[in-house]
């Protein structure tokens, strides 16, 4: 039956011609069933039944009642979940045939479609009055596209380079680090001053300040006398 309906859609079959064309394509036990039905139900082989009634008769015969009930319940509780909008629409159309009391009313069918959408989509559409399922589907596809675009832009913004002030902070930190190293290193250089605070003479290694160096003048380094050498100093 599903394949037959796809053919009708492709060739744009008129509603009044659907039953005639469909019964022409029936085979084996389905063809036997229809031939029997023509003899027992329709006088003189004149078929006065619309397409919806034909589908109902077909399902009553070949689809067990408990299966029909199960499919109806699945339709009533149908929700989009992880499906895309188009996948949800396809499943909605397939199951809606088992709840004709709903799909016969276009507004009611459109409302059922919207209420089954994901919350993020439903909240954007539920306030609008969609007269047909096609209107509801078109609006839903637009909303889905806008949401996907928003998520893509948000994802791209998270990959952008750091802000200027963040780069400046990193440069500042890199500039200051060597200075701290130089400062700490300079503090380790030994002092060239004596405990008294005077500079040591590079010749005699004595802290005699700005006075004359006894060693350069050839004097005793112990008492400063020029009459003897340090080794002969009586103070030793």
Of all residues in the chain, what percent carry a pLDDT higher than 70? Answer: 78
45-49, 111-115, 179-183, 227-231, range with the lowest pLDDT? 179-183
Q: Which residue has the higher pLDDT, 120 or 2?
A: 120
154 confidence band (pLDDT: 50, 70, 90)? confident
**Of 144, 152, 96, nearest in space to 117 by CA:** 144
Residues in contact with 34: Cβ distance below 8 Å, sequence separation at least 6, in sequence order: 23, 26
- Report the alpha-carbon distance of residue 199 to residue 190 in Å, rounded: 13
Q: What is the pLDDT of residues 12-49, one digit of tens each?
A: 888 888 888 888 888 888 888 888 877 777 665 556 77
Cα Rg of the chain, angstroms: 51
197 confidence band (pLDDT: 50, 70, 90) = low
**N-to-C CA span, the chain:** 131
Count of residues in the chain:
236
pLDDT at 174: 58
Which residue has better confidence, 108 or 161? 108
Cβ atoms 130, 110 nearer than 8 A: yes
Q: Is the pLDDT of residue 182 over 70?
A: no
Segment among 7-16, 171-180, 219-228 with least mean pLDDT: 171-180
Q: Within its chain, how far is the Cα of 12 from the centroid?
A: 41
Q: Tell me the pLDDT of the chain averaged across its residues.
A: 79
Give yes or no for residue 117 having a pLDDT over 90. yes
**Cβ neighbour number for residue 96 with a 10 Å cutoff:** 19
Residue 116 in this model has a pLDDT that exceeds 90: yes
Long-range contacts, 23-26 (Cβ 8 Å, 24+) = 23/47, 23/54
pLDDT tens, residue by residue, 208-223: 666 677 777 778 877 8
Q: What is the pLDDT of residues 73-100, one digit of tens each?
A: 999 999 999 999 999 999 999 899 888 8
**Which DSSP symbol is given to 190?**
P
Dist. CA 45–CA 19, nearest whole Å? 13
Crossing angle for the helix pair 28-41 and 51-62, to the nearest 10 degrees: 120
- How far is it, in rounded angstroms, from Cα 115 to Cα 136? 11
Compute the distance between CA of residue 201 and CA of residue 208 in angstroms, rounded to an integer: 7
Q: Which residues contact residue 171 at a Cβ distance below 8 angstroms, ignoring those fewer than 6 apart?
A: none
């Amino acid at each position: 039956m599903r394949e037959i309906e796809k053919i009708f859609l492709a060739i744009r079959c008129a509603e009044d011609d659907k039953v005639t064309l469909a019964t022409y394509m029936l085979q084996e036990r389905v063809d036997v069933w229809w031939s029997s039905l023509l003899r027992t139900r329709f006088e003189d082989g004149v078929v006065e039944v619309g397409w919806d009634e034909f589908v109902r008769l077909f399902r009553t015969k070949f689809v067990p009642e408990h299966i029909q009930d199960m499919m109806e319940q699945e339709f009533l509780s149908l929700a989009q979940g992880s499906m895309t909008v188009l996948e949800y629409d396809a499943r909605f159309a397939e199951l809606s045939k088992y709840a004709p009391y709903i799909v016969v009313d276009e507004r009611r069918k459109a409302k059922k479609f919207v209420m089954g959408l994901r919350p993020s989509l439903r909240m954007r559409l539920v306030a609008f009055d969609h007269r047909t399922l096609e209107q509801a589907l078109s609006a839903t596809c637009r909303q889905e596209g806008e949401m996907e675009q928003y998520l893509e832009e948000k994802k791209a913004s998270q990959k952008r380079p750091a802000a200027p002030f963040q780069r400046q902070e990193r440069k500042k930190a890199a500039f200051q680090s060597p200075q701290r190293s130089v400062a700490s290193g300079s503090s380790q250089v030994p002092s060239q001053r004596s405990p008294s605070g005077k500079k040591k003479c590079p010749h005699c290694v004595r802290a005699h300040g700005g006075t004359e160096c006894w060693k350069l003048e050839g004097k005793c380094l112990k008492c400063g006398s020029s009459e003897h050498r340090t080794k002969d100093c009586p103070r030793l």
